[in-house]
Amino acid sequence: MNVDTETGPAAGVPPEQVARAARLVRQGRTYSLAATRFPGMPLFPGHPPFQVLNYRTPRGIRVTGAQPWGPLNDAGLGYMAEYVMATSHSGAHIDALAHMTVGPDHHWYGGGNADEHLGDFGPTYGSAERIPPFFTRGVLLDVAGHRGIPCLPKGSPVDAAELEAIAASAGVSVGRWDVVLIRTGYMGLWPDAERMVAHKTPGPDISAARWLLDRGVVATGTDTETYEVQPAPDPGVPSNPQPVHTLLLIENGIHLMESLDLEALARDRVHEFLFVALPLKIRGATGSMIDPLAVI
- The proportion of the chain whose per-residue pLDDT surpasses 90, expressed as a percent, equals 98
Cβ contact 130:108 at 8 Å:
no
Residue 203's CB is within 10 A of a number of other CB atoms, namely 27
Average pLDDT, the chain: 96
* pLDDT-derived band at 5, boundaries 50, 70, 90: confident
Alpha-carbon distances of 61 from 71, 72, 83, 171, rounded to whole Å: 12, 14, 16, 59
As a whole number of angstroms, the distance between CA 203 and CA 224 comes to 8
The backbone torsions φ and ψ at residue 286, rounded to the nearest 5 degrees and listed phi first, read -100, 10
Reported pTM: 0.96
Alpha-carbon distances of 147 from 102, 153, 166, 281, 294, rounded to whole Å: 34, 11, 9, 38, 23
Listed in sequence order, the residues at least 6 apart from 225 whose beta carbon sits closer than 8 Å to its beta carbon are 42, 43, 44, 201, 258, 259
For the residues 191-214, what does the mean pLDDT come to?
Answer: 97
pLDDT digits (tens, 9 = 90+) for 64-98: 999 999 999 999 999 999 999 999 999 999 999 99
Question: How high is the pLDDT of residue 176?
Answer: 97
* pLDDT-derived band at 122, boundaries 50, 70, 90: very high
Which residues are bridge partners to 181 per DSSP?
140, 221
Question: How high is the pLDDT of residue 166?
Answer: 98
Asked if residue 2 has pLDDT above 70, the reply is no
As a whole number of angstroms, the distance between CA 33 and CA 267 comes to 13
Which residues are bridge partners to 31 per DSSP?
294
Cα(first)–Cα(last) distance of the chain, in Å? 38
Asked if residue 4 has pLDDT above 80, the reply is no
Domains and their CATH numbers in the chain: 3-37+96-295 (3.50.30.50), 51-85 (no CATH)
